[in-house]
Structure formats: C-alpha cells, structure tokens
Amino acid sequence: MTKQMVYRLMIYLSGLLILALGLTLNTKAGLGVSAIISVSYCISLVLQLNFGDVTLGLYVVFVIIEMILHGIALKKQKSLKKTLVMDVLQIPLSIVFTRLLNLYGAFLPDFSDQAMWLRLGVLLIAILLTGIGAAMSLNMRLIPNPGDGIVQAIADTFHKSVGFSKNMFDLVNITNAIVIGLSVVGELSGVGIGTVLAVIGVGRSIALFNHLTLHRLNELDGLNAAS
C-alpha cells in the first residue's frame, strides 16, 4: 500500500468518525436533526426503536434504490458492474457507521433540556462537524456514505446537479419525517429549526472546509490532479 493510499484511508476514516459525531450531536441539541437522518430519527422516536438500527435499515433501502438507479443510468455500460459493487460495499460501511452513531449516542449527554444558547451552540458545532466529516470522506473518493451515494445516483440518473438533487432529497426526507410524526403521534418529531439550519449550514461548512484545506489534503492523498 502506498503512502498516499494510507493518507487517503486515514483521512476517509477520520471523516467518517467526525461525520458520525456531528450527526449524533445534532440529535442531542433537541432543535431538529439533519434532513438525511430526519426519517430514521423520527421513526426511532415514535416507535421507541434504536436510532442506529433504524438508520441502518434506511441506509440499506438507500443502497437498493441506488442499485436500481445505476442499473437504469448505466445500462449496457462497462462501468455498471464496478458501480454496483461499490453500491453493495456501502452496506458493511453502513453497519460500522451506524454502530458509531450508537456509540456516540450512548456517551454524549442530552442537551434538549438545557438553556437555549447552549443548545444553539451544540447545534452549531454539530453542523460544522457534519460538514467537515462529509467533506473529508467524500473528497477521498472511496466508498460513499449511503446518504451521499443516493444523491449522486439521483443526479446521474436524472441528469441534474448534485446540489439540486441534494436539496430535493433533503426536502423529501423532511416531508416524510413530518408526515410520520404528525400521523403517528400528532406532532413534529425530530424536525425543527435545527433541521433548516443544518440544510443551509452543512453545505456551507463543506464549501468552507474545502476552500481552506482541499488543496493540502489532495497533496497528501495524491488526488490534487483531479481537484
């Protein structure tokens, strides 16, 4: 294994650790969670199920949808087989990632009953960590998190930009979480001002992190030619 690949793996794994921390911390602020986990968080609340386990189930659904979309978008192309293999590899990644969510969830305190300024501070840190973790893992171009992989698959299939596809996918997730919460318990569960701030803030955090560090990271991992 080359030194550059070692750097890529280290940055990628660090990114996943930071991303899981950010997503978990987001749930602890009690102001509404990120759109990508809003459905699984809502289901875990209303049905009293384990958040990490519900997220794993949702990620598996994402992977299945990705494979269907890639089968449509890459039909008869040589890259289809490799793409489907990468899709399947997201499942073991999801198992590890959702165990991290459970681990962080067990050790991080709940801030939902704390002062509003503290909850907002926790939310801000969560958004920053989510953006940084997502940027680090995505930039290494290894196995994507299913939440990111499905957005890319949607963009490829319908020939839309990743940004537009991400916004639409977030909207679908938030809508589903609202419908589930209102229909099952008669109130919003996991959706709030924090959800809106995360939709805006995570993207800005990714852009800022890339602006400050992408060139240096790509020098380390050997991907600067593609940056």
**What would the pLDDT profile of 160-178 be if each residue is shown by its tens digit?**
888 889 889 999 999 999 9
The confidence score (pLDDT) of residue 224 equals 61
With respect to residue 227, please indicate whether it lies within any of the assigned structural domains. Answer: no
124 located within any domain: yes
Tens digits of per-residue pLDDT, 87-121? Answer: 999 999 999 999 999 999 999 999 999 999 999 99
Amino acid at site 55: T
Residue 7 to residue 222: CA distance in whole angstroms: 9
Q: Is residue 53 part of a domain?
A: yes
**146 within domain boundaries:** yes
Tokens of 194: 């924090």
Give burial (CB, 10 Å; 0-12/13-18/19+) of 159.
exposed
Ranges of the chain whose pLDDT falls below 70: 224-227
Q: Give how many domains the chain has, as a whole number.
A: 1
Q: Which of 41, 17, 70 is nearest to 195 (CA)?
A: 41
Report residue 120 CA to chain centroid gap.
21
- Host domain of residue 66: 3-221
Q: 226 lies in a domain?
A: no
Task: Please state the pTM of the whole predicted model.
Answer: 0.90
